[in-house]
Chain A
Amino acid sequence: MLVSPFLILFLVFGVFPLVFSFYLAFQTWEPTAGLSSMKFVGLGNFAFAITDEWFWKSLKNTAWLAFASGVPQHVIAIPLAYFIHTSFKRTRNSVIGAYFLPYITSTVAIAMMFGTLFSTDFGLINISLRALSQLPGLGWLISGEPIDWLNRAENVKPAVAIVVFWRYIGFNTVLYLAALQTIPKDIYEAATMDGARRLQQFFYITLPSLKPMIYFGVTLSVVGGLQLFEEPFILTGGRGGTDQAGMTTAMYMYRTAFEFNDFGAASALSWLLFVVVAVLTWLTNRAFKPRDGSQ
C-alpha cells in the first residue's frame, strides 16, 4: 500500500512505455488512424533500420560527438579537481559552484545562448577570434575570417562538442572532488616523507585511487553521450544541420517518429540504440572495473 504511489507511477511512466515501444518495433502504424491500424510486420522495421544509410550516419555522428565531448571532460576534470582540491581553501565552494552552474542550467537556454555566440557575422566567438588574429604573432595561427560554425558540415560537430564539454565538465569535476576527499591524507604525508614530488604523488597515489570514480564517470559519459539530444537539436534548429552533420541517433529517432510519422521504425531504432549503449557500457566495465587481485 505505502509503495503503491511509486509502483503506479513506475508502471505508467516506466514499464508501459518500454513494453509499448518493444511492441511497436514489430508493427507498422499510421498513428492518425488510431490504435487499431497497427499491423504486424515481424522484423521488417529492424531490417529497414539496419540497412538505413541515415541510421549509420547518425550513429557515426553520435560516436564522434560522444568521443570528442566525453574524453576531454575527464582528461581535464581530473587535474582540475586535483588543482581545486589542493589549492583552494576558503573560496573552494564558490569555485566548484561556478563550474557546476552549467550543469544545472536549462539545456535549451544554454543551446540558445551558444547559438547566438556561434553566429557567423555577429557572434562573440568570431569577433573574439578576429580580435585575436590582429595581435602580433597570432596572425599565422588564426585567420580572422569569420567561421560559419553551425552551417558548414565540418564545423557543426566541433561546435556541438564544445557546448557539451562546457556543460558537463563541472559535473565531472564535482565527482572527482568527492573522490579526492576520500583519499586519506596520511598516504600523501608518507609519500612526502619518502621524497615523492607533487607530480609523482598525482600519478602514483591520486590517479589509482580515483579509478572507481573514473569508471563511474566514464560510464555516465558513455550513456549520456550516446543519448545526446537537446544540445544538437536546438543548435541545429531540429534538423541536424547541413548534411545532417549534427544529427545524433536520438535525434534521428525523434524525427522518424514525429516528423516522418514512422513510429514502428523509430521504436526499432531505439532498441538498436539500446543494444549499442549496452555493449559500450559493458566494454567500459571491462576496461575500468577493478579486477580481483589487482588491488
Chain B
Amino acid sequence: MLKVRPPFRTSLRFLMAGLAGLTLVASASAQQTLTVAAYPAVDEIAKSAIPMWKKKHPDVEIKVISRAFADHHTAMTTALSTSSNLPDVMVVEYGFVARFAEGGGLEDLGAAPYNIKSQQAHFVPYAFRQGTTNAGTVVAVPADIGPGTLLYRDDLLKKAGVKESDLTQSWDSFVASGVKIKAATGAYLVAHARDVKDIVIRSDIKPGEGLYIDNKGKVLVDTPRFVRAFELAKKVREQKLDGKIGAWSNEWSEGFKRGTIATQLSGAWLAGHLNNWLAPNTKGLWRAAQLPEKAYGSWGGSFYTIPKVSKNKALAWEFIQMMTLNPEMQLSAFKSQDAFPALVDVHKDAFFDQPIEFLGGQKARLLWRDAANKITAVDVHKLDPIAEEIINTEMDKVLDQGKDIKTALADAKALLERRVAR
C-alpha cells in the first residue's frame, strides 16, 4: 500500500487546529475543576463521593490530590506559607487544626455565606468544638472522629480469670489485672507504658485548661494529672507489664498477631486496622470496652477546611456539605473505611446495632457512640507538638533511668516555659 504524505501546509493546519482544540478543552476543564487535598483513607472517601457529585454537577471535575499523612500536612504548611498551590478543599487532621487556624489562612465557616453554626446540632458536640478556635471562628468541619476505647483479648482474660470490669473499674485495678494476665498467660498488659500516660493526662481536664498549656499560657505539666499519669506508667513498667513496643512498629503488629499484647488503648478505628491487616488471624478474640475509670478521650479525627485563597469557594462549600452533612455519604465512609461519623443524624442508623464479627459479635458501635457523646473537647495550643515531645522524653528518663517523677516534671515545665516565653 502506498502512503501519501499530506502536503506540509495541510498537516500544519491540522496541527494548529488540534492545538487550538486542546487548549479549548484545557481551559474549559480548568475552570471546572475542584481540587481536594487529602491523606489516606480520607482520599479514598473523597474519591468515592465523585459519582454522587457528578449527578449534581456533571460539568465539574473533582481532582483528589492524595499524599501520605505527614507529607500532606508538610505540603499544606508550605502552601499556606506562600499562599500558592493551595487546593479548594483541604482536609486537616485534628492535631493540625489549631496550628493551621492560627495562621489565619483558612476561611471562617461560621460567617456568611456558610453559617455552619446553624447546623451545629447535627455534629458530635466535641468534634464541632474542635474545629472552633478560641476566638470563636469555625475553621474546620468534622467529618470523622476517633472515640477512645479499650480493646482487649477476651481469651487471655478468661485464661487469667480476669473480668472486663476488673480492667475498667479503675486504673489501679487495670494494673492489678495486668499482673494476673502476665502471670497466667505471659502476655503484656499494654504495648508501652507511655500509652497509659497518654490517656491519663487527657482525662479530667477542666474547662479552659488545655492539655499541656492553658489558654492564658500557663504551663500545666506539673499538675496532679501528670503526676498520676507518670506514677501509673512507672508502676506498669516496674511490674514488667509493658512490652516497650512503640505503636505502628513491626513488634507491635507481631505482638497482636501472636497474642503477646493483651490490651490496647486507642481510637475505635483500631479495630478496623486489626481486622484488615494488623492481626486478621485474631478475629473473634478481641472485645471492646470503655476506657478505665470512665475516662473519655478522642484519638484523632478528620476535618474539612477551605483556604482563603480558594477560587471555587461556593463549590468547595457544597462539596464539604456533601461530605459532612449528607447521611448517605457519612454512612458509606463508616462502612467502607471505618471512619466513625461526626454526623449525629446517622448515629441512629441500624448499622450501629449490627454485631462486629472481629469483636466476637459484640455490638461495639453502640459503645463508641456512647463514648463519642461523653467526650469533652480539649483546647489545643500551637506548642502541643513540642510539649508532647518534652513530656515523652522525660517519661523515657523516668521509665529507663529511674529519674524522680517530681524532678522530671519540673524539668519538663522549665523546658516548656522557655518555649512559651519565646
A and B associate? yes
Q: Which of A32, A119, A239 contacts B99 (CB 8 A)?
A: A32
Q: Which of B77, B248, B251, B386 contacts A121 (CB 8 A)?
A: B251
- Asked whether A32 and B77 contact (CB < 8 A) given A152-B400, A153-B401, the answer is yes
Q: Which residue of B is nearest A237, CB measured?
A: B246
What residues on B are CB-neighbors of A243 within 8 Å? 393, 396-397, 400-401
A258 beta carbon closer than 8 Å to chain B:
yes
Q: Which of A33-41, A160-168, A218-226 forms part of the interface with chain B? A: A33-41
A115 beta carbon closer than 8 Å to chain B:
yes
Distance in Å: Cβ of B324 to nearest Cβ of chain A: 22
Q: Which of A34, A116, A122, A239 contacts B81 (CB 8 A)?
A: A34
A153 to B402, CA, bound (A): 13
A31 beta carbon closer than 8 Å to chain B:
yes
- Asked whether A260 and B385 contact (CB < 8 A) given A34-B80, A35-B82, A119-B251, the answer is yes
Contact, CB under 8 Å: B401 / A31? no
Contact, CB under 8 Å: A31 / B81? yes
B328 beta carbon closer than 8 Å to chain A:
no
A155 to B392, CA, bound (A): 18
Contact, CB under 8 Å: B422 / A48? yes
B240 beta carbon closer than 8 Å to chain A:
no
Contact, CB under 8 Å: B396 / A122? no
B104 beta carbon closer than 8 Å to chain A:
yes
Contact, CB under 8 Å: B80 / A31? yes
A230 beta carbon closer than 8 Å to chain B:
no
A116 to B250, CA, bound (A): 7
Task: Name the prevailing secondary structure of the B interface residues.
Answer: helix
A33 to B309, CA, bound (A): 12
Contact, CB under 8 Å: B81 / A237? no
Interface centre among B74, B248, B249 (most CB of A within 10 A): B249
A115 to B385, CA, bound (A): 25
A11 to B392, CA, bound (A): 41
A237 to B248, CA, bound (A): 10
A17 to B210, CA, bound (A): 37
A107 beta carbon closer than 8 Å to chain B:
no
B382 beta carbon closer than 8 Å to chain A:
yes
B105 beta carbon closer than 8 Å to chain A:
yes
Distance in Å: Cβ of A112 to nearest Cβ of chain B: 10
Q: Which of B82, B249, B254 contacts A34 (CB 8 A)?
A: B82
Q: Which residues from 234 to 262 on chain A have a C-beta closer than 8 Å to any C-beta of chain B? A: 237, 239, 242-244, 255, 258-262
**Chain A residues bordering chain B, tally (CB within 8 A):** 34
Contact, CB under 8 Å: B102 / A32? yes
What residues on A are CB-neighbors of B382 within 8 Å? 261
What residues on B are CB-neighbors of A258 within 8 Å? 74, 77
Q: Which residues from 160 to 190 on chain A have a C-beta closer than 8 Å to any C-beta of chain B? A: none
Q: Which residue of B is nearest A244, CB measured?
A: B393
Distance in Å: Cβ of B175 to nearest Cβ of chain A: 21
A242 to B389, CA, bound (A): 11
Distance in Å: Cβ of B75 to nearest Cβ of chain A: 11
- Asked whether A153 and B80 contact (CB < 8 A) given A32-B103, A37-B103, the answer is no
Contact, CB under 8 Å: A32 / B401? no
A29 to B422, CA, bound (A): 12
What residues on B are CB-neighbors of A29 within 8 Å? 81
A151 beta carbon closer than 8 Å to chain B:
yes
Contact, CB under 8 Å: A151 / B105? no
Contact, CB under 8 Å: A32 / B100? yes
Contact with A along B393-418 (1 / 0, CB 8 A): 10011001100000000000001001
What residues on B are CB-neighbors of A115 within 8 Å? 250
B165 beta carbon closer than 8 Å to chain A:
no
- Asked whether A122 and B254 contact (CB < 8 A) given A243-B400, A260-B385, the answer is yes
Q: Which residue of A is nearest B78, CB measured?
A: A31
What residues on B are CB-neighbors of A259 within 8 Å? 385-386, 389
B48 beta carbon closer than 8 Å to chain A:
no
What residues on A are CB-neighbors of B223 within 8 Å? none
A231 to B108, CA, bound (A): 42
Distance in Å: Cβ of B190 to nearest Cβ of chain A: 14
What residues on B are CB-neighbors of A261 within 8 Å? 77, 99, 382, 385
Q: Which of A34, A122, A153, A237 contacts B103 (CB 8 A)?
A: A34
Contact, CB under 8 Å: B81 / A32? yes
Contact with A along B333-376 (1 / 0, CB 8 A): 00000000000000000000000000000000000000000000
A194 beta carbon closer than 8 Å to chain B:
no
A265 to B133, CA, bound (A): 26
A29 to B102, CA, bound (A): 12
- Asked whether A242 and B77 contact (CB < 8 A) given A34-B82, A34-B105, the answer is no
A153 to B82, CA, bound (A): 39
B180 beta carbon closer than 8 Å to chain A:
no
Contact, CB under 8 Å: A33 / B102? yes
Distance in Å: Cβ of B311 to nearest Cβ of chain A: 17
A284 beta carbon closer than 8 Å to chain B:
no
What residues on B are CB-neighbors of A255 within 8 Å? 389
Q: Which 4 A-B pairs have the closest CB atoms?
A: A32-B103, A33-B103, A31-B81, A243-B396
A-B contact pairs, 6 of them (CB 8 A): A32-B102, A33-B102, A120-B251, A151-B244, A243-B401, A244-B393
Enumerate chain B interface residues (CB-CB to A < 8 A). Answer: 74, 77-78, 80-83, 99-100, 102-105, 244-246, 248-251, 254, 382-383, 385-386, 389, 392-393, 396-397, 400-401, 415, 418, 422
Known: A48-B422, A153-B396, A237-B248. 4 other contacts (CB 8 A): A151-B246, A258-B74, A259-B385, A260-B386
